[in-house]
Chains A and B, each alone.
Chain A
Amino acid sequence: MARLHEHQGKRLLKEKGIVIPRGGPARTPEEARRIAEEVGGPVMVKAQVWVTGRAGRGGIRRAETPAEAKAVARDILGLRVGQFTVDTVLVEECLEIQREFYASVIVDDKAQASLVMFSSRGGTGIEEIAQEHPTTVASKHVDIEQGLRDYEARNLVRRTGVHGKLQRKLGDTMVRLYDVARTWEARAAEINPLVVVADGNIYAADCRITVDDYAVFRHKDLGITFARELDRPPTELERIAYAVEEGDYRGTFYFIQMAEGFEREDGYVGFHGAGGGGSMMSMDAVLRRGLHIANFVDTSGNPPASKVYRAARIILSQPGLDGYFGSGSGVASQEQFHSARGLVKAFLEEHVDIPIVIRLGGNAEDQAVEILERLNGLIPAPVEGYRKDDSADYCAARMAALIALDQRRDVPLPAPRPEPQEPYRFETVTGGTVTFDHAVCRTCENKVCVTDCVRQILKLEDGVPVLNITPEEARRGRCVECLACEVECRFRGAGGGYVDLPIPGLEEYRAKIGIK
């Protein structure tokens, strides 16, 4: 879900004709002062953070004058409220509230329909209201093709004991709120409190809207850059990971950090799951061994090798890990050599020195394990690959055992790759580059790049590999970044082929935190 801040949500309400208090967002105390001046009269200064109970934490305060608004904003901006640091405040006119109501629209997954809910008592949480004053709460499922009809909304309000003119106005607000939810595809849209003020007008005093992740792509106007449900702001590494996912629709790459600030020997494992259920089940197995999880990752849904590679590089950008554990459901439909090659490329580049245990069960598992275990002796880390007949529990036990053993081989860092003498290059769909140094390729006997290319897009021309399709076709996606041309070349060829896969922001992040 993608959560909108109060001021962003209010903007959407306004677009559909729901009245909101005059004012606007401010990121500096001076901006706050200016807005307060425009509004005229006393204002509320409200921290824009996704935390309930802002008022009790000093996140909502009244200011009588623009100068006071500036001072209050200075207090609130930079304040830590829950897990968030306030970087924006909403400065808006004070309302003379006569009465408070509750209004919401949520997607009810059990009913497979939107549910609109109204209460003639607002202000506190809806669960409380529903428990203590059930006759004041009414709800109704909405037919998605019909929408919420005006008379349905009025009757909904009527059932809570509100009559006359007020009922008509509130009914109208409900119809507009549903319109907001439907237009921007909100998982949930809540106005609490919805208020009547002294002159009889209805205002949305607060607003919480979460937008369906999967619909964000068709609502660019919302400016959502990170559509994940977290109870804290995303970390830099999570943003980097999210950008990888957003830029590549093939398969899934889900990454969240679960801990920070740990060090070697604290027992934290880089976790690389495959498949939502397999990941959760494998995570449970690791935790049962007394190990800790540094991050949760799921690469699944037929991800290309390149996505698995990027996931591994990101996982390995967490300093202080004691081990790397990969496991999925155990019986994957996708051929496992894709993941294996993605991992191998990453492990070689990182010259990993912490034990690696990967459970690669499913289609082509034997080939995948073979690909993976070739790493033994080439990197300091011990590497163990497992198949579907090896349980996640057993593999987690191996991870714990290898961490306890704390052995690593003395393998020097390989020399950096020299500049190619006769480069033949083409681009890939995620902005990567495949390079063959034909000077080296000429010395190769096996030409495994051609035979092992999963999409068979290479051919030999005068004894060196070239595309048998156009570079444009390769770039559009015919090259699926299977990495066979790098990985198989490295192990069974002359080493002339390799693939560069950019991960925007990662090098800078690593430099910043001090890892190479």
Chain B
Amino acid sequence: MAILIDETKKVLVQGITGREGMTRTRLMVQYGTHVVAGCTPGKGGQEVEGVPVFDTVEEAVGTIGTIDISVLFVPAPLVKNAALESIAAGIQLLVIVPDRVPIYDVLVIAKEAKTAGARFVGPNTLGVLSPDKGVLGMMGGRAVSAREWFFQGPVGITSRSGGITSSMAYYLAREGIGATTLVHVGGDAVVGLPHPEVVKLFEQDPDTKAVVMFGEIGTSQEEQVADLIECGEFTKPLIAYIGGKAAKSGTRFSHAGAIVEGGRGTHEGKVQRLKEVGATVVDAFDELPRATRRVLEERGIPLRA
């Protein structure tokens, strides 16, 4: 069934007339995503990849009808206003691609989303992709590559790193294992759908039989996933790799969220906690496909859809 994106969802692209907006709209459309409208203030009336552009999100929704998802390709300082605009227009899921969005802006977006019952992925996300159903954001780069690399199967993929999301899906695919949905949670410390929230969505998805997770040092997302396993809220097998083993305390490793502070968010802490609750944690990234295969075969789960 896939989570977050499939062929039924109607998608809006904010910042559609910018360089990123245009290129990625092409990716999304060519991959089969149902992109119904775009919005760039001042550019209403234009068309991008056959998609009509509006001046405001409200106008887009008023003209097209219900829009389920908005993907944002606007400069970081403008993200807050763009996100609030979509939430106010009734869009229930946002995918915030840009990097460097100020943290307090994210807090405002989080508050407004919560009030409206809306959710968001990111910021600083490569996006979300459900093989052969649709893609939101930039994942895959080109539709032809995405089609080549990804196919449907039983594994949900969640990652704090963008490139790694595609890699994991690709290497699993090479092992013969397909995916339901690939989710890039985003590299920032405050994100709309962190690992535990994505894992809960995978729990509810009947087609997802196992989850592969790429974790990192910093924040407490992986520990929260362990908590979900422990209290029975997440019951499917989890196979994980935690990056940043070599990282020292107090130093950030690129991602705003990848930093060990005050003894919290350590590599050892996450690995230990996950192992404690019965998750499979591999030492080397390359071991993920084989470990996942073993887990699926043990449970008699077919590797492809």
Contact = CB atoms under 8 A, between A and B. Distances in A.
Q: Do A and B come from one complex?
A: yes
Interface of A: 1, 107, 109-110, 112-114, 127, 143-145, 182, 185, 187, 212-215, 217-218, 228-231, 249, 252, 254, 256, 273-281, 283-285, 287-288, 293, 296, 298, 300-302, 328-335, 361-363, 388-389, 391-393
A107 B164 contact: no
B63 interface: no
Contact of B164 (A185, A229, A281): A281
B161 A214 contact: no
Given A333-B139, A393-B284, A277 B257 contact: no
Contacts of A274: 163
Task: Say what secondary structure dominates the interface of chain A.
Answer: mixed
Contacts of B140: 333
Interface stretch (B6-14, B40-48, B54-62, B216-224): B216-224
Name, among A281, A285, A288, A328, the residue most crowded by chain B CB atoms within 10 Å (CB to CB): A281
A144 B255 CA distance: 24
B187 interface: yes
Name, among A143, A214, A229, the residue most crowded by chain B CB atoms within 10 Å (CB to CB): A214
A152 to B, nearest CB: 16
Contacts of B20: 302
B172 to A, nearest CB: 11
Contact of B162 (A214, A277, A281): A277
A329 B111 contact: no
A215 B166 contact: no
Contacts of B75: 249
Name, among A127, A143, A279, the residue most crowded by chain B CB atoms within 10 Å (CB to CB): A279
Interface residues on B, range: 35 or more
Interface string B176-189: 00000000000101
A293 B251 CA distance: 15
Given A113-B110, A284-B284, 11 more contacts: A107-B104, A109-B190, A112-B111, A145-B111, A214-B256, A215-B103, A279-B253, A288-B284, A329-B162, A363-B141, A388-B170
Nearest to B115: A145
B176 to A, nearest CB: 15
Interface in B44-90: 75-77
Interface stretch (B28-36, B229-237, B238-246, B273-281): B238-246
B214 A229 contact: no
A112 B107 contact: yes
Name, among A145, A187, A277, A288, the residue most crowded by chain B CB atoms within 10 Å (CB to CB): A277
5 contacts: A113-B110, A127-B262, A213-B100, A277-B216, A333-B163
A423 to B, nearest CB: 30
A187 B103 contact: yes
Contacts of B252: 1, 228-230
A171 B159 CA distance: 41
A81 B214 CA distance: 38
Contacts of A300: 162-163, 254
B166 to A, nearest CB: 4
A330 B167 contact: yes
Q: Which 8 A-B pairs have the closest CB atoms?
A: A277-B161, A329-B163, A333-B141, A275-B163, A231-B250, A280-B243, A277-B164, A298-B254
Contacts of B76: 214
A301 B99 contact: yes
B162 A275 contact: yes
B150 to A, nearest CB: 10
A280 B163 CA distance: 12
B95 to A, nearest CB: 15
A256 B140 CA distance: 29
Given A110-B220, A112-B110, A284-B285, A230 B250 contact: yes
B212 interface: no
Given A279-B253, A388-B167, A331 B259 contact: no
A165 B250 CA distance: 40
Contacts of A281: 164, 241, 243, 285
Nearest to B163: A329
Nearest to B252: A229
Contact of A256 (B163, B170, B244, B251): B251
A212 B102 contact: yes
Nearest to A182: B104
Contacts of B190: 107, 109, 112
B17 to A, nearest CB: 15
Contact of B214 (A109, A145, A214, A277): A277
Contacts of B189: 107, 109
Contact of B141 (A231, A279, A296, A334): A334
Contacts of A231: 248-251
B45 to A, nearest CB: 24
Contacts of A249: 75, 100
Contact of B103 (A143, A185, A276, A277): A185
B53 to A, nearest CB: 21
A277 B246 contact: no
A5 B176 CA distance: 54
A229 B251 contact: yes
A335 B253 CA distance: 24
A363 B101 contact: no
A231 B262 CA distance: 12
B3 interface: no
B99 A277 contact: no
B197 to A, nearest CB: 11
A187 B126 CA distance: 24
A391 B101 CA distance: 33
Given A144-B108, A214-B102, A275 B161 contact: yes
B293 interface: no
Name, among B126, B187, B254, B259, the residue most crowded by chain A CB atoms within 10 Å (CB to CB): B254
A485 B153 CA distance: 44
B285 to A, nearest CB: 5
Interface in B249-305: 249-259, 262, 284-286
Name, among B76, B108, B164, the residue most crowded by chain A CB atoms within 10 Å (CB to CB): B164
A339 to B, nearest CB: 12
B138 A252 contact: no
Given A214-B101, A333-B141, A277 B163 contact: yes
